[in-house]
Amino acid sequence: MKRFKIAIIDDYQKVAMTYGDWSYIQDHTDITVFSEYIGGEDRLIELLAPFDIICIMRERTLITESLVANLPNLQLIISTGPRNAAINLEAVKARGIEIANTGYVDSGAPELAWTLLMSIARHIPQENAALKNGKWQTTVGADLKGKTIGIIGLGNIGSRIAIIAKAFEMEVISWSPGLSTEEAALKGVRAVNKAELFSTADFVSIHMVLSESSKGIIKLKDMELMKPGAFLINTSRGPLINEADLIKILSERKIAGAALDVFDQEPLPANHPFRTLENVLATPHIGYVTNNTYQVFFEDTRNAILNWLLNRIPS
């Protein structure tokens, strides 16, 4: 009987198989875990061609039409999260490849967004580094109470950020295409136009879905409206902001700083300016990298494999 080949890719922390019992799957299949980012499509084709099942982490690797066309053995793709914009669904379906998705825990992203906001406002990384180097109180932090936060995108995550902001006694304003005054008011938020948000907010936090219409929605002209002491936080998707424009604004110190968890290219290149700019607090896309989220991701991945196998392996 054929032993199916399974690839688990982009498991950066090497933890996928520590969640749940994989013993039955290991008894009946050959599993290969790729913990390093594979990168280019030619290399992906070379490494993944033998596999019947590929388990992917949402949006870490592009599943393109040409990639799918060059994976002759592929029968099943399992993706973490309920949707994955990195998968060319039409190409996958045209090949007759099955797709399974996992559940999701939606608390990680807003928690990280607020963590970054507070960390950059109070210079936590700098003060921690200074303390470990024998120094004491080297910066002066920004207050939250009485300040204005501008939320771009008042959906599930943006609405949670608004609730947290009000707990800190902040003024909350919001803008996104199509956001009505009535919809914002129902959430206790004041809807404003884009220019007013950027010109009046002390903190701008981005919480939009990336699409063709939202790509590059934040440009140089928007960020030039920001106060010199304002901060920009992006835990949504990197391409929502024109990256070159953001680098220019930060390099010229037109704003106080940016806290970023997402980037145009991930992993972030070793020589990227975001790694060295002093007014950037950057984390490696860890918004959903939490124990509870991974528990759901990888246990659901395991269960999807089990269900697929049980229909193909004689009992």
pLDDT digit string, tens, across residues 209-240: 999 999 999 999 999 999 999 999 999 999 99
Active site residue 123: no
* SS3 of residue 6 by DSSP: strand
The pLDDT assigned to 229 comes to 98
pLDDT tens per residue across span 28-42: 999 999 999 998 999
Active site residue 285: yes
The continuous run of DSSP H or E covering 110 comes out as helix 108-121
How many CB atoms are located within 10 Å of the residue 176 CB?
22
Token reading at 47? 């490494």
The pLDDT assigned to 17 comes to 96
First-to-final CA distance of the chain:
12
Q: Which pLDDT band, with edges at 50, 70 and 90, does 185 fall under?
A: very high
Phi, psi of 298 (to 5 degrees): -85, -30
What's the CA gap between 232 and 200, in Å, rounded?
13
* SS3 of residue 167 by DSSP: helix
Active site residue 41: no
**Active-site residue identified among 111, 127, 196, 266:** 266
What's the CA gap between 175 and 108, in Å, rounded?
23
**Active-site residue identified among 60, 160, 207, 285:** 285
* SS3 of residue 242 by DSSP: coil
The pLDDT assigned to 292 comes to 97
Domain 108-282 fold is: Rossmann fold (3.40.50)
Domain 4-105+291-310 fold is: Rossmann fold (3.40.50)
The pLDDT assigned to 31 comes to 98
Domain with CATH 3.40.50.720 in the chain: 4-105+291-310, 108-282
**Active-site residue identified among 237, 252, 253, 312:** 237
Q: State pTM to two decimals.
A: 0.93
Q: For 245-271, what is the mean pLDDT?
A: 97
Q: How far is CA 168 from CA 63, 163, 285, in A?
A: 42, 9, 25
